[in-house]
Amino acid sequence: MADSEVLVRVENLVKHFPITRGIIIQRQVGAVHAVDGLTFDIYKGETLGLVGESGCGKSTTGRTILQLYRPTSGSVHFEGVDLVKLKGEDLRRMRRRMQMIFQDPYASLNPRMTVGEIIGEPLIIHNVARGREVQERVEHLLELVGLNPAYANRYPHEFSGGQRQRIGVARALALQPSFIVCDEPISALDVSIQAQVVNLLEDLQQEFGLTYLFIAHDLSMVRHISNRVAVMYLGVIVELASRDELYNHPLHPYTQALLSAVPIPDPAVEKKRKRIILQGDVPSPVNPPSGCRFRTRCPLAAEICKEVKPEWREVSSGHFVACHMV
Amino acid sequence: MAQPVTLDARAHDKDALLTTKRESLWQDALRRLVRNRAAVVGGVIILMLYLMAIFADKIAPYPYEKQTLVDQNKVPAWMLKVFPTMQPYAKISDKYLLGADYVGRDLFSRIVYGTRVSLTVALIGPLISLIIGVTYGSISGYFGGRLDNIMMRIVDVLYAFPGLLFIILLMAFFRSTFARPEPGTFTYAVSQLDARLGGMLFIFIGIGLTAWETMARLTRGQVLSMREKEFIEAARTIGATDLRIMFRHILPNIVGPLVVAETLAIPGYITTEAFLSFIGLGVNPPTPSWGSMISEGAQVIRTYPNQTIFPALALAITMFAFNFLGDGLRDALDPRLRGTQ
């Protein structure tokens, strides 16, 4: 995978949300360090899984890459263009190439628009199609995601969660993007539907050569769909490796703890399995720990972890980790 | 796990197509509204009132300003059965359906013409507050941040402003008979316009000054909560402009509560007009307004109660009609709110 073409290059991406106080004259009293210096590449045609617990900045990362949140600093190169520098009309034009699938299929579709209007809207906005052609493209897209084309003039509330998520996928595909951020696209769905949607995403990837950034917290689902996996903790990526490498040889203590939480469907093995149970809670991203972010809960923490921020380095080919103890 | 499940899903979808019938949220709301009897009655009354206002000159048997001094305070015969206390002194004349006032003008005709004032107010009030309030609130809520803060503080200040006092001052200034303004000045133009509108100009100004603020606040709150919805983010992802997000995605989703609030605010506007006319600051005589008729009737309320009761009744029926329609709209647009205030 390492020789492939880079589609998205993220460098030192930082997103801080300011905390302000005061009624008319607002002064900044702090910041939520949601994303704090990420550097990674996404290769063309791959699926990069992004895992981490709630509130670690996974979704913010996805949204900041797409410039839905403007980053505090850093750069995002997509197809050779630095998105951070783009503004207004130029950025709007780039949106054709990168799309997003949202977590909650109940909140991500406008209840006052028909399915046809929802899926056709990107086509109209970007002037890709017009009139009768929009309708044809919508019908084609519906078929593509496994829905009946006759559904175009129905409203979202008439559909189930899985069907709605398919509509969301069809909307994301409408502009034929090359890159899609999937923000926990299956977390809100029934387990039986999850597999359907994941398979749909895989089929579409093969058909159109799509590149995914797949955000999730379900480790087994990430393992199933991803080529490479990045593990996030409190606004930073602590480890990034190819799927098998990461699942078989996790290096960072946080990754090890995370993976040890996955149950094994075999009572005999499960009984002997040793879980690494982390102490304490995730520290507040308003005031993250000095040095290594994970040191407050790390079983291996030493003095150096408090003082020096661990370097993001490649320990073996394609296996990146940020830890003093590795 | 890697097997495509899409075929199954497609088969399942076909079945669903046959059983569920298509219905937009608006159609659904309309169906619920029609089923609400009070709302339908309210709506029909409002419709009839508007017809009455438009065709007042066809319905009213006499011109509203026609004084027949020999007929002053006359009552029709049936009125004595309703108010037997009038027996000893009342002069009977069946020329007038509801009687005549103290200068012999037909009460019924004046009530019919009075509809024009009240229903114009019921139209202008919402128009002003929708145009100004919704625009103001949308901008404030959508762009948020510092702009929102400043805009809302301005509304707070205006909210605390004594609107009634302001209208009284305006009228004292522009309607002053002591110092007639020179033709060609601004003051002159305004007083001419006021006279041309039968004295309704200041009522519009008074309602316009206060009505939009509530609307702006409501709109801002609604926009604020809608703005955070995921489908707004989705619209941004597909490259929608702010204008498009506002008109295609936010407004259609908040128009329900806004319409309900506005319908329920209409009785307030009508009362304001009636109140201003009652204290003599409303329409210019002889233009009839229910408020000024009640005011005139109140002076003879003991001897000729009919002169107060019928305009008051007209006012009450109108307010009930708007309230019923507003309640019905609220229940229809958001059934979860049924039975709440």
Span B60-80, average pLDDT: 81
Residue of B nearest to A168 (CA): B234
The whole-number pLDDT of residue B222 equals: 92
Contact (Cβ atoms closer than 8 angstroms) between residue A66 and residue A100: yes
The whole-number pLDDT of residue B153 equals: 92
State the best of B156, B222, B231 to mutate against chain A, taking most chain A CBs within 10 Å. Answer: B231
Decide if B20 is inside a domain: no
Decide if B15 is inside a domain: no
Structure tokens belonging to residue B226:
């809608």
Q: Is the pLDDT of residue B10 over 50?
A: no
Q: Between residues 264 and 303 of chain B, which touch chain A (CB distance below 8 Å)?
A: none
Query: Does B19 reach chain A within 8 Å, measured CB to CB?
Result: no
Span B190-205, average pLDDT: 80
d(CA A229, CA A217): 12
Closest to A145 (Cα-Cα) out of A188, A105, A187, A199: A199
Contacts of A191 in chain B (CB under 8 A): none
Residue of A nearest to B148 (CA): A24
Letter for the amino acid at A134?
V
Residue of B nearest to A100 (CA): B237
**pTM for this model (two decimals):** 0.79
CATH of the domain at B222: 1.10.3720.10
Contact (Cβ atoms closer than 8 angstroms) between residue B191 and residue B173: no
In whole angstroms, how large is the CA radius of gyration of chain B? 26
Contacts of A186 in chain B (CB under 8 A): none
Q: Between residues 144 and 203 of chain A, which touch chain B (CB distance below 8 Å)?
A: 146-148, 150-151, 153-155, 157-158, 162-163, 166, 168, 171-172, 174-175, 195-196, 199-200, 202-203
Structure tokens belonging to residue A83:
């998105």
B22 contacts A162? CB cut-off 8 A: no
Query: Does A110 reach chain B within 8 Å, measured CB to CB?
Result: yes
Decide if B100 is inside a domain: yes
Q: Is the pLDDT of residue B3 over 70?
A: no
Number of independent structural domains in chain B: 1
A175 contacts B17? CB cut-off 8 A: no
Range of the domain at B311: 45-337
B244 contacts A92? CB cut-off 8 A: no
Query: Does B235 reach chain A within 8 Å, measured CB to CB?
Result: yes
Q: Is the pLDDT higher at B94 or at B112?
A: B112
Residue ranges of domains in chain A, CATH in brackets? 6-21+29-235 (3.40.50.300)
d(CA A214, CA A220): 13
B241 contacts A107? CB cut-off 8 A: no
CA dist list (Å): B90 to B83, B85, B303: 10, 9, 9
Strands A319-321 and A236-242, how do they pair? Answer: antiparallel
| A to B CB pairs, distance under 8 Å | 115
Decide if B31 is inside a domain: no
A111 contacts B233? CB cut-off 8 A: no
d(CA A86, CA A98): 14
| pLDDT tens track, chain A, 326 positions | 445 788 999 999 999 998 888 766 777 888 888 998 899 999 999 999 999 888 888 999 999 999 999 999 999 999 888 998 988 888 988 899 999 999 988 889 998 888 999 999 999 999 888 888 999 999 999 999 999 998 888 888 888 888 999 999 999 999 999 999 999 988 888 888 888 899 999 999 999 999 999 999 888 889 999 999 999 999 899 999 999 999 999 999 999 988 888 888 888 888 887 788 888 888 888 888 888 888 888 888 888 888 888 888 898 888 999 988 87
> ipTM of this predicted complex?
0.86
Cβ density class B170-200: b for 16+ within 10 Å, e for less: bbeebeeeeeebeeeeeeeebbeebeebbbb
| pLDDT per residue as tens digits for the range A108-152 | 999 888 899 999 999 999 988 888 899 999 999 999 999 999 888
User: What is the 3-state composition of chain A as percent helix, strand, coil, each rounded to the nearest 5?
Assistant: 35, 25, 40
Describe the crossing of helices B145-159 and B135-143 by its angle, rounded to 10 degrees. 140
The distance of A250 to chain B (nearest Cα, Å) reads 25
Decide if B328 is inside a domain: yes
Contact (Cβ atoms closer than 8 angstroms) between residue B190 and residue B236: no
Decide if B24 is inside a domain: no
The whole-number pLDDT of residue A1 equals: 45
Contacts of A24 in chain B (CB under 8 A): 149-150, 153
The distance of B110 to chain A (nearest Cα, Å) reads 46
Letter for the amino acid at A102?
F
| pLDDT per residue as tens digits for the range B130-177 | 899 999 999 999 998 889 989 999 999 988 888 788 888 887 777 766
Q: Is the pLDDT of residue B24 over 90?
A: no
Span B207-211, average pLDDT: 82
Backbone angles phi, psi at B50, to 5 degrees: -65, -40
Decide if B39 is inside a domain: no
Q: How far is CA A156 from the centre of its chain?
A: 24
| Average predicted confidence (pLDDT) for chain B | 82
d(CA A318, CA B14): 47
d(CA B19, CA B312): 53
The distance of B40 to chain A (nearest Cα, Å) reads 25
